[in-house]
Amino acid sequence: MKKTIIGVLAGAAVLTTGCGTVMRQVERLAVQASPTGASPTASPPATPTGSPSGRAGAGDLRTAAQAALGAVPGSTLISIETEENGRLWEVQVVGQDGTEHQMDVESGKVVNGPTTEIEDAADKAKHQARVSAAKLDYAQAADKIAAAVPEGRITELNLDGEQGRTVWESDVVTPDGTKHEVTVDATSGTVTSSSATS
């Protein structure tokens, strides 16, 4: 029964989202399926800890990040983003050799992965260079962003390069639904840009 349900849902995913994301969705469904054979829709999805509305908060970001970092010892977080209306976090970390690992975290637990990304030496070197250049880690960057957008909820945070600098780029949503894009210089900690979009 469980395989049939997953098969039907995978087929629906192909029709609605295309083949590129089907395998990740099937893996998520398989993880979510109860070992007792109950239907995956038998109970409502869990609400993340500390966020009664079902939307991820700053504490949830930190909890998800710590779970991901614990899954790959000695790694550095380079990207974290909410998925599925804030229920799940998609996280990328980089090991000391520059290898990227991706995983999904829900309620403070890794539920899918970590999977190792297939990358060449140049990609690994780019990751290592950004991690080495960043004086602020994800938590310090999140603090700077929270100061720039009070009451905002970070939905995405990425270590990236911009005009020759290493920066933390983020998307932040305020309670009124306004989306803000905030960039923090990962070396100095200065907020270099902050803009609101509807």
Q: What is the pLDDT of residues 173-188, one digit of tens each?
A: 999 999 999 999 999 9
Note whether 75 and 165 are same-domain residues. yes
Contact 42, 33 (CB under 8 A): no
What SS3 state is found at 149?
Answer: coil
Residue 38 lies inside a defined structural domain of this protein: no
Q: How confident is the model at residue 194 (pLDDT cuts 50, 70, 90)?
A: confident
Residue 42 lies inside a defined structural domain of this protein: no
Residue 116 has pLDDT above 70, yes or no: yes
Listing DSSP states for 27-73 in one string gives HHHHHHS-TT---TTSSPPPPPTT-TTS---HHHHHHHHHHHHHHST
Note whether 126 and 160 are same-domain residues. yes
Instruction: State which residues form the domain around 16.
Output: 2-32
Note whether 88 and 10 are same-domain residues. no
Specify the pTM: 0.70
Residue 91 lies inside a defined structural domain of this protein: yes
Q: How confident is the model at residue 197 (pLDDT cuts 50, 70, 90)?
A: confident
Burial class (CB within 10 angstroms; exposed 0-12, middle 13-18, buried 19+) of 50: exposed
Q: How many DSSP H helices and E strands does the chain contain? A: 5, 8
Residue 27 lies inside a defined structural domain of this protein: yes
Note whether 76 and 134 are same-domain residues. yes
* Domain at 119, CATH number: 3.10.450.40
Pair of tokens at residue 161: 């390069």
Note whether 104 and 179 are same-domain residues. yes
Note whether 91 and 187 are same-domain residues. yes
Q: Which of 191, 190, 198 is nearest to 173 (CA)?
A: 198
Note whether 107 and 181 are same-domain residues. yes
How many domains is the chain built from?
Answer: 2
Note whether 188 and 106 are same-domain residues. yes
Note whether 69 and 143 are same-domain residues. yes
